[in-house]
A and B are shown apart, each in its own frame.
Chain A
Amino acid sequence: VSYQVEILDWKTKEQLCFLDKVEPNATIREIRLMFHKLYPRWYPARQSIKLDPKGKSLRDEEILQHLPVGTTATLYFKDLGPQIGWTTVFLIEYTGPLFIYFLFYFRMPFVYGLDERFTSSPHPVVNLACICHSFHYIKRLIETIFVHRFSHGTMPLRNIVKNCLYYWGFAAWLAYYINHPLYTPPSYGKKQINFAVIMFLLCEAGNFSIHVALSDLRRDGSKTRKIPYPTKNPFTWLFFFVSCPNYTYEVGTWISFTIMTQCVPVGLFTLLCFIQMTIWAKDKHYTYLREFKDYPSLRMPIIPFLL
């Protein structure tokens, strides 16, 4: 028996399309493709198909006959707006700060004035900071290309403007002060810098380990969520205590960078990162708790035992 599918606009409820003779085992993905054929400007990533006008969007893998619909199914469509792939977004977001920092490090003439153009700082910590900052963003770019597996393919286009403003703007602001001719190195000198470098390297290694571990959970190409567990890698042992150790390590990286440069704008950026990541970690943590009855109870979202 074949199904009939009608798709209505979620707000106006007008019928946008009527699909005849749909296979019962058709997936939402196939329905999206059929809809796209009728409306070329609404490519599948832009389509939110739902059972209820105010409900959640159906996933691509859902099968028509398993949904709570009769043989004539009514689905609702919402336009999510122009979409952009996560990989694309990350690449743009992370390349910006990398090169913007260099503009300040090499002291382009329009930054500190003609007198200071292309000069270099007498403080070794400034060179170190440039290496660390660049290393951080290059690592992120490599992870985006080779490591991350995204569960959602796309995000709305306007997000990229917001995100880029944030990352690029802050990179410029903190690079300005670190590479400034009147920069003051850390008050506790070499001790402070060495401590910061070691903390930085440990956190970067930790962050990378977690990303690899998370990526391995989806090695088979599936898009379902699984509980991450500690592996043989000691850095992943943070999973015993925390749901999102990648965020924990990330905050650690930025704290170490703040200590290394002793710069208030860096500290402010660290604080904002911490707030944002705590929100994401809590979200993820509660999603895990809801989905898995046997989720380890010792784990906190982002800081062991505390938060």
Chain B
Amino acid sequence: LQNPDIAITDNVLHFRAQGHGAKGDNIYEFQIEFLEPVEPKPVCRVTQRQLNITVQKKESNWWERLTKQEKRPLFLAPDFDRWLDESDAEMELKEKEEEKINKMKIESRVPKDPFKHLKKGYLIMYNLVQFLGFSWIFVNMTVRLFILGKDSFYDTFHTIADMMYFCQTLALMEVLNSLIGLVRSPLIPAVIQVLGRNFILFVILGSLEEMQSKAVVFFVFYFWSIIELFRYPYYMLSCIGIEWKPLTWLRYTSWIPLYPLGGLAEAVCLIQSIPIFSETGKFSLGLPNPLNVTIPFSFLLQIYLIALFLGIFVNFRYLYKQRKQHLGPKKRKMK
């Protein structure tokens, strides 16, 4: 096939070319007048054995037949491989319309955010501060462990508590961030973790001198800080948009041993504190009182202990789901 001359004028397709056929070299030409208006620019693709001309309808709808004339030209035959009957054509149209509508919806749902950079900056600062705080705690505790050995357990509270108070009070911001939608993570696991930890820190340890010199404080603080050592850097990087794969893996795997261990340490804390609350009657309502009821705090703590295990279980399931989301598909690719 040589020198193809293809043009459309007034809805008529003119074709003219020189070809090498059975009867030698000849000039071939034909004309087709289309039933309804078409776009004047055809798209042509030439292969060894055939020439494809794609002509677009001006209006996408069903044509009763291809040509204006009623009789079909003898050389014209439908290619059933690409044939779309009326219902198929309608479906194609509908799908295209739906895609258009969906695109418009998605675009309208994401409004342009004027505060985006401010929010990012705040989140990075928050995560950085927490990371520094918990690093200080972790390094401090590790160094003291090496120097003093087991003895470091007993005055962990006196050296570390102030920084831990600061970090955990600041952690309330995480609940706020989730509440106002600054961060995409769900509210309830955040609330469970922050309130749970602060209860142990302020109510159980903070208010009882006797608890502060117990060895379990070391473990509670240590496990809390190790988990945070992975969590906050991961958040910082994801705010900037960087992903460091080893860190992601650590953040979504380290909780598997650490979270239950931390929970266990908290439970030991509670169990050790219950007799102290029983004896001293701290935070308990005793008789006589105008409500004529006694509310022993030790009883509430026992209920809380059960709630603690339930909360750990709920959070565990949530973290596991998250892990699968973030690490799962990649694992398949590596194999």
Contacts and interface: CB of A to CB of B under 8 A. Distances in A.
Contacts of B289: 184
A147 interface: no
Interface string B53-65: 0000000000000
A180 B292 contact: yes
B292 A183 contact: yes
B291 to A, nearest CB: 5
A165 interface: no
A236 interface: no
Nearest to B285: A264
Task: Report whether over half of chain B's contact residues are helix, strand or loop; otherwise say mixed.
Answer: loop
How many of chain A's residues touch chain B, expressed as a range?
Answer: 10 to 19
Contacts of B287: 180, 182-183
Interface in A35-51: none
Closest 7 CB pairs of A and B: A264-B293, A182-B287, A182-B288, A263-B292, A264-B291, A177-B292, A184-B288
B293 A263 contact: yes
Contacts of A183: 287-288, 292
Contacts of B291: 262-264
Interface of A: 177-178, 180, 182-184, 187, 261-265
Interface string B255-294: 0000000000000000000000000000000011111111
Interface residues of B, number: 8
Nearest to B292: A263
Contacts of A184: 288-290, 292
Interface in B289-331: 289-294
Contacts of B292: 177-178, 180, 183-184, 261-265
A298 B136 CA distance: 69
A263 B291 CA distance: 5
Nearest to B288: A182
22 contacts: A177-B292, A177-B293, A178-B292, A180-B287, A180-B292, A182-B287, A182-B288, A183-B287, A183-B292, A184-B288, A184-B290, A184-B292, A187-B290, A261-B292, A262-B290, A262-B291, A262-B292, A263-B292, A264-B291, A264-B293, A265-B292, A265-B293
A262 B290 CA distance: 7
Contacts of A182: 287-288
A183 B287 CA distance: 8
Contacts of B294: 177
A275 to B, nearest CB: 19
A184 B285 CA distance: 14
A218 B323 CA distance: 65
